[in-house]
A and B are shown apart, each in its own frame.
Chain A
Amino acid sequence: MSEQTYIRSRWFEDIPVGEFHVFGSHTFSEKEIIEFGRKYAPDPYHTDPSAAFDTPYRGLIASGWHVAAVWMKMMVQYMERFATGVQDGRRNGAGVGVRDMLWLKEVRPGHTLTFTYEIIEKPEKVVRDKWGIIRSRNEAFNQNNERVFSFEIDILAERNPDGL
């Protein structure tokens, strides 16, 4: 099997800066936008298609946090295809924090987002004697290839004990 087969169980040291993935696409339905909105962002532009027309958004839009949650869903689906081996199959994945998250364009029912990430940095910091930090830039593009969402996230990756 290729090295990429074990993408999720790689050590910190084995994850290269510059690695780029197009990792999933998702089409947002009206139903799921409303369900998420009712639970977590109960403002009319997320919950009520007709009331949404009377807001500046002129129609229903997905909550930004719904877009972020779908980013996670796509990431897990993509990683699961390559996870194997160690304990629960993971040496990396727990999130530490996020920077520069921006919602650039509305996501409406029927819109399809495609998600990408690139490893941009491996800060020199050891967390709890065991973990390194992998920083990636993540973006989502709609069906017209417009960038609608972007952010950087730091995740923990286990350092190879032979290298410490």
Chain B
Amino acid sequence: MPKTFQTIEAGQTLETPAIEISEQDILEFAAEFDPQPYHLDRAAADASIFGGLCASGWQVCAVMMRLLSDSFRNADIALLGVQGVPEMRWKIPVFAGDQLTGRIEIIATESDSKRADAGRVRCKIDVRNQKDQSVMLLTSDVLVPFNEQVAR
């Protein structure tokens, strides 16, 4: 049975797998969701504020979610998604070939999430690249169910 909200404690940390972002990944995401020159065109990107072809910040968020989802699954903690993000900052661009990992630290738990079935687990998440630079920093309120029966 997956772990429920009651087993989660502040101070716990989770390591995530690594995900590599290819140029193809960047172009595909940008074509669908963020078709701006610095995410689509190498020459325009070189001349832009970012200094090169880089992933949409929203793609970095999506990859962060994949890291979060995978790490909760690997730790056998049930997950009912993310309720909110009190604060998030994009710190440096993510370029083609970058490998991203996350450091997830549980900083608080709150049983009153305004939901009957799940508590709120506030996580501090630091997404880092292969040079150990922080590319995105956020706090995220994750929903973890009280009852393993709904923990699928």
Q: A72-B33, A76-B34, A103-B83 are in contact. Are A55 and B150 (CB under 8 A)?
A: yes
Q: A93-B36, A97-B89 are in contact. Are A72 and B56 (CB under 8 A)?
A: yes
Chain B nearest Cβ from A9, distance in angstroms: 13
* Chain B residues within 8 Å of chain A by Cβ, number: 41
Chain B nearest Cβ from A18, distance in angstroms: 24
B62: Cβ under 8 A from any A Cβ:
yes
* A contacts with B: majority SS: mixed
Say yes or no: B65 contacts A73, CB within 8 Å: no
Q: Which of B47, B48, B81 contacts A64 (CB 8 A)?
A: B81
Q: Of residues 57 to 88 in A, which have CB atoms within 8 Å of B's CB atoms?
A: 57, 63-66, 68-70, 72-73, 76, 80, 87-88
A-B contact count (CB 8 A): 108
A102: Cβ under 8 A from any B Cβ:
yes
A7: Cβ under 8 A from any B Cβ:
no
Q: A40-B65, A42-B66 are in contact. Are A69 and B58 (CB under 8 A)?
A: yes
Residues of A within 8 Å of B29, CB to CB, are 69
Q: A76-B34, A76-B35, A98-B85 are in contact. Are A40 and B47 (CB under 8 A)?
A: no
Q: Of residues 11 to 28 in B, which have CB atoms within 8 Å of A's CB atoms?
A: none
Chain B nearest Cβ from A159, distance in angstroms: 13
Chain A nearest Cβ from B39, distance in angstroms: 10
Chain A nearest Cβ from B140, distance in angstroms: 9
- Give A36's nearest chain B residue, CB to CB: B62
B117: Cβ under 8 A from any A Cβ:
yes
Q: Of residues 112 to 164 in A, which have CB atoms within 8 Å of B's CB atoms?
A: 151, 156
Say yes or no: A42 contacts B69, CB within 8 Å: yes
Say yes or no: B83 contacts A73, CB within 8 Å: no
Say yes or no: A43 contacts B69, CB within 8 Å: yes
Say yes or no: B69 contacts A95, CB within 8 Å: no
Most buried by B among A43, A56, A76: A56
Say yes or no: A100 contacts B69, CB within 8 Å: no
Sample (28) of A-B pairs whose CB atoms are under 8 Å apart: A36-B62, A39-B62, A39-B66, A40-B69, A42-B66, A42-B69, A42-B70, A43-B81, A45-B81, A55-B80, A56-B80, A56-B118, A56-B150, A57-B80, A65-B65, A69-B29, A69-B33, A69-B34, A73-B35, A93-B36, A98-B88, A99-B86, A99-B87, A100-B84, A100-B85, A100-B86, A102-B83, A103-B83
